[in-house]
Amino acid sequence: MSVLGVGSTVFGRHPDQGAVELAVAAARQAILEANVARERIGAVYLGNFVGGVLTGQEVLAGLVADGLGLRDVPCTKVEGACASGGIAFRHAVLSVAAGLCDVALAVGVEKMSHAGTAAVTQALNCALDHMADGPSGLTYPGLFALLWQAHARRYGTTREQVSAVCIKNRRNGLTNPIASMGSEITADMIANAAMIADPLTLYDCCPISDGAAAVVVGLPELARGSRADPVRVLASVQTSGGARIAAHGDLTSFRATCAAAERAYAAAGIGPEDVNFVELHDCFSIAEIIDAEDLGLVPRGEGGRWALEGRTDRGGDVAINPSGGLEAKGHPVGATGIGQIYEAVQQLRHRHPNQVTGARIGMTHNLGGTGVACTVNILGRE
């Protein structure tokens, strides 16, 4: 299976464009780069989480296909909270792998910045189990603050170590033209920023954003016609985990990520030591540390130390979020998983503005809700 083409909008604020316009723009880029006739596209999968809640518009997959001039094509919107984009990509891969079509299009999109913080928070809380967790009043910043506290108690993770994640990712975002929040920040700035949920401050949290990304996948023999270097899909795995907070016996790990990583390595025939870089789900700074450990890329309990020592920078042992991640790019929820694929493909083509030297194998990781849905993909150079 090959990635034939990718496209992405800038992740940020798009006051003059709606979700459909953003998605069509990203998909057009991907189709142009793939250099395939549109009539060869046999399926469209669109990842979106809160379009209906925040914009009042559903049937987005069909609207996007119509905007692209695709006719009589099965169009499916998929939703898995923050993992919606990753699931859309996997469905596209499976459609081609199953022989249902030669080419499939995966798109991810979200339009969020027009809504106020309270409305966005309420919408994102749709990913909680309202019967079990709703009465607690807990939001996602509160949840990840609890995870940080648990990680600190068990492993001694410090504010300085977690700040190193923020500093690295915002710095990477400065040189990524599709990132909205790149900046030079200091440990003092992070520690003294507005407290969101102790110990998370403002710089520990990814920003609300709009954006879209798209990927065309197809049979390997079609890769010869692509306008860019093709990239192989070595593994595409989806798992489920605890749908409610009480289902997590260990607040320092997500079971869904551990299972997805194990299966992805087995499918690709590699180990974590073979991965050159990863674009993972850093919705909050502490999430990068936990995710890296769950993926087996960093020893358990040492994620904070590795970040502080620079071992997760572009020139370190394994480059984590060289794009800037969600913290620098923003988190247009439905688009994030596809956006990670976009970044990984550019790395493997050796065309990324934050290029990881010699990158040959890359990974993406997209996590939704309280860990209820997870996708892990492994990509490699042709």
List 331, 352, 365, 374, catalytic entry: 331
List 14, 75, 82, 205, catalytic entry: 82
Each residue's pLDDT tens digit, 129-143: 888 777 888 889 999
Beta strand 200-201 with 195-197: parallel, antiparallel or unpaired?
antiparallel
Backbone angles phi, psi at 35, to 5 degrees: 60, 45
| Percent share of the chain, pLDDT over 90 | 88
The structure tokens listed for 112 are 């969020």
Q: What is the CA radius of gyration of the chain?
A: 19
Question: What confidence score (pLDDT) does residue 249 get?
Answer: 84
Each residue's pLDDT tens digit, 131-180: 877 788 888 999 999 999 999 999 999 999 999 999 999 999 999 999 98
Question: What confidence score (pLDDT) does residue 72 get?
Answer: 95
Does the active-site annotation cover 82?
yes
Do residues 27 and 5 lie in contact, with contact meaning Cβ atoms separated by under 8 Å? Answer: no
Statement: residue 61 has pLDDT above 80: yes
The structure tokens listed for 85 are 């984009």
Name which of 88, 18, 22, 11 is nearest 49 in CA terms: 88
Mean pLDDT score, 316-329: 98
Reported as half-sphere exposure (CB side, CA atoms, 13 A), residue 92 has a value of 36
Statement: residue 58 has pLDDT above 90: yes
Single-letter amino acid code for the residue at 196:
I
